[in-house]
């Protein structure tokens, strides 16, 4: 599983940000050719992003490029960017599975032989995209995640954005459920007030509670807080270890159900504990081979 707790946007027309992106420890970096770049700067940004992919060391961060929508500059973006070996493309304003099919076809036609296949992440930010989320998630084997964009979504709805996010609750739930049904990740919308730490933490906790596996990120100062929310706590890890021990003991005694602190422990609880320990091992929070 690829970690995508944070996916940091870097405007594709900002050489300083593109140069420094690797030092912040984001799980993924999104070199943006879409909304962060004005129409008259698209050509220059495409060249800059291609150059950055070839020359900048982004350390362990996944390299993702947000291309433009199919009805604008997607073809030019794919032709210029795919040969520079990004790990994935973030495809904005995806409305139907055919959009993904078309991008996948263009990517396949551009990839060089022997090149690692470029993954796709579908950004759902329109009412129709939300309505077709599951079909989009299953549209092509390259699709590894659904991401949610609340600003464009609420603009299309004509709904007012609030800090509490009641207006995006149902769309968030659909994105999470559709991604899980298709066996891929879901990534939440960015929190746009970079000076409101408390708000960011609360919004990320809500996203995690709903089932999201990460959050789009717009500023390096947001990374640590988002990681802290998505990382398993020491309390989670201790709980998960106790669950695994309890179920192993029950199994040794011929039972599939255990009891811990008076609560039933069965398969879904064990699966949750295993996920916590898997993530903890991936993050180096517990020793390899423990349990
Ligand atoms: C928000 C702000 C202006 C704040 O500026 P500030 O100046 O206050 O930041 P400071 O913290 O003071 O910066 C301290 C130091 O960090 C450097 N630094 C800052 N940000 C950095 C970064 N991202 N990458 C690398 N470096 C960075 C900076 O250069 C400085 O370096 P230095 O001068 O050397 O000290 C700035 O972060 C920024 O531009 N973010 C990216 C915004 C963006 O990409 N938006 C489009 C994508 S979202 C989108 O499209 C979603 C959606 O699709 C979804 C939907 O639909 O909902 C939609 O449609 O909305
Ligand atoms: Mg958008």
Q: What is the ipTM of this complex?
A: 0.97
| Nearest one of 240, 242, 244 to 276, comparing CA atoms | 240
Rounded CA gap, 123 and 290, in Å? 37
Examine the pLDDT at 65 and tell me if it is beyond 70: yes
- Please report which confidence band the pLDDT of residue 213 belongs to, taking 50, 70 and 90 as the band edges: very high
Helical spans, DSSP H, in 147-284:
150-157, 169-182, 197-210, 223-230, 234-252, 267-282
Tens digits of per-residue pLDDT, 98-142?
999 999 999 999 999 999 999 999 999 999 999 999 999 999 999
| Nearest one of 173, 160, 163, 175 to 124, comparing CA atoms | 175
Rounded CA gap, 151 and 130, in Å? 14
| Nearest one of 139, 105, 109, 108 to 122, comparing CA atoms | 139
Segment 1-22 shows an average pLDDT of 95
DSSP tag of 3: -
Structural tokens at position 252: 């040794």
Rounded CA gap, 143 and 107, in Å? 12
DSSP tag of 134: H
- Which residues' Cβ are closer than 6 Å to ligand 1? 8-11, 16-17, 20-21, 32, 35-36, 125, 149-152, 189-190, 194, 218-221
Return the best residue to mutate from 52, 187, 220, 225 for the ligand 1 pocket (most ligand atoms within 8 A of CB): 220
* Region of residue 188 (phi > 0: left; psi between -120 and 50: alpha; otherwise: beta): beta
Residues with C-beta atoms within 5 A of ion ligand 2: 125, 149, 152
- Please state, in angstroms and as integers, the Cα–Cα distance from residue 282 to each residue in 36, 147, 237, 261, following that order: 32, 22, 13, 28
Residue nearest to atom 28 of ligand 1 (CA): 17
Q: Among 192-201, 205-214, 256-265, 272-281, which stretch is predicted with the lowest mean pLDDT?
A: 256-265
CA angle 196, 201, 205 (to 5 degrees): 150
| Nearest one of 103, 59, 99, 55 to 82, comparing CA atoms | 103
């Amino acid at each position: 599983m690829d970690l995508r707790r944070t996916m940091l946007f870097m405007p594709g027309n900002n050489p300083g940000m593109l140069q420094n992106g690797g030092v912040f420890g984001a799980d993924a970096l999104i070199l943006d050719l879409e909304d962060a770049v004005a129409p008259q700067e698209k050509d220059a940004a495409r060249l800059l992003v291609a150059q950055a992919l070839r020359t900048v060391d982004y350390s362990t961060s996944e390299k993702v490029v947000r291309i433009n929508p199919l009805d604008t500059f997607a073809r030019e973006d794919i032709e210029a960017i795919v040969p520079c070996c990004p790990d994935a493309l973030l495809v904005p304003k995806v409305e139907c599975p055919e959009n993904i099919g078309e991008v996948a076809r263009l990517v396949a036609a551009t990839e060089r032989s022997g090149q690692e296949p470029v993954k796709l992440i579908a950004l759902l930010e329109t009412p129709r995209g939300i309505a077709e989320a599951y079909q989009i998630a299953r549209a092509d084997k390259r699709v590894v995640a659904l991401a949610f964009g609340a600003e464009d979504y609420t603009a299309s709805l004509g709904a007012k954005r609030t800090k509490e996010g009641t207006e995006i609750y149902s769309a968030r739930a659909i994105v999470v459920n559709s991604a899980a049904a298709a066996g891929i990740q879901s990534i939440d919308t960015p929190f746009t007030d970079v000076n409101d730490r408390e708000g960011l933490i609360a919004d990320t906790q809500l996203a995690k509670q709903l089932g999201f596996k990460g959050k789009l990120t717009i500023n390096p100062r947001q990374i640590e807080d988002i990681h802290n929310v998505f990382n398993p706590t020491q309390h989670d890890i201790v709980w998960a270890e106790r669950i695994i021990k309890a179920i192993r003991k029950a199994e040794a005694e011929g039972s599939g159900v255990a009891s811990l602190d008076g609560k039933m422990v069965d398969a879904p609880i064990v699966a949750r504990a295993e996920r916590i320990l898997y993530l903890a091992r991936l993050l180096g929070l517990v020793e390899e081979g423990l349990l």
